[in-house]
C-alpha cells in the first residue's frame, strides 16, 4: 500500500533558527515528490518538485533533498521567518498514476515564534 509518513507532526522553533522536516514514503514505482506549504485556511502552494534523478532542489530559503534508495526526503528551512509558520505537506506520485496517482502525507505543522 502506498503511504507517505511525515515527521515530526508538529514543530516549534524560534525565529532565525533552521529546521528540517522529514518525509518517508513507500510509493512504488516512484515518479516524483513534491513539497507544499499550506498557510492556515488557505490552499497548498508548491515549493519544490523532484524527480528520481534529482537529489537536491532549492527555492529561496527552502532546500529539499531526495534519497530514492532509502525513499526519504527532507525539507530544510534556513533562517526561519514568522511567515514560515504553516503546514508543510509531502506528496508522492507513482509512475503511471493518473489523476489519482498522488499520495499525500498528513503534513508537519510548523510554528515560528518571535
Partner 1 sequence: SQTIHQWPATLVQPVGSPLSLECTVEGTSNPNLYWYRQAAGRGLQLLFYSVGIGQISSEVPQNLSASRPQDRQFILSSKKLLLSDSGFYLCAWSPGLAGGNEQFFGPGTRLTVL
Q: Applying CB under 8 A, which residues contact partner 1?
A: 4, 31-32, 34, 36, 41-46, 49, 89, 93-102, 104-107
The DSSP secondary-structure symbol of 43 reads: -
| Grid cell listed for 28 | 512504488
Which of 78/85 has CB closer to partner 1? Answer: 85
Compute the Cα dihedral for 55, 8, 61, 103 and give only its sign. Answer: positive
Least Å from the CB of residue 111 to partner 1: 16
Least Å from the CB of residue 70 to partner 1: 22
Preceding omega of 29 cis (within 30 degrees of 0) = yes
Which of 12/79 has CB closer to partner 1? Answer: 12
Least Å from the CB of residue 50 to partner 1: 12
Which of 31/78 has CB closer to partner 1? Answer: 31
Contact 10, 106 (CB under 8 A): no
Name every residue whose Cβ is closer than 8 Å to that of residue 70 and which is 6 or more positions away in sequence.
Answer: none
Amino acid at each position: 500500500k502506498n503511504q507517505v509518513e511525515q515527521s515530526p507532526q508538529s514543530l516549534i522553533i524560534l525565529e532565525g533558527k533552521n529546521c528540517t522536516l522529514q518525509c518517508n514514503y513507500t510509493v512504488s514505482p516512484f515518479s516524483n515528490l513534491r513539497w507544499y506549504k499550506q498557510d492556515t485556511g488557505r490552499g497548498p502552494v508548491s515549493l519544490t518538485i523532484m524527480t528520481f534523478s534529482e537529489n537536491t532542489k532549492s527555492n529561496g530559503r527552502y532546500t529539499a533533498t531526495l534519497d530514492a534508495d532509502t525513499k526519504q526526503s527532507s525539507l530544510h528551512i534556513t533562517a526561519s521567518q514568522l511567515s514560515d509558520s504553516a503546514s508543510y505537506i509531502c506528496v508522492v506520485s507513482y509512475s503511471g498514476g493518473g489523476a489519482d496517482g498522488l499520495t499525500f502525507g498528513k503534513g508537519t505543522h510548523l510554528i515560528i515564534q518571535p
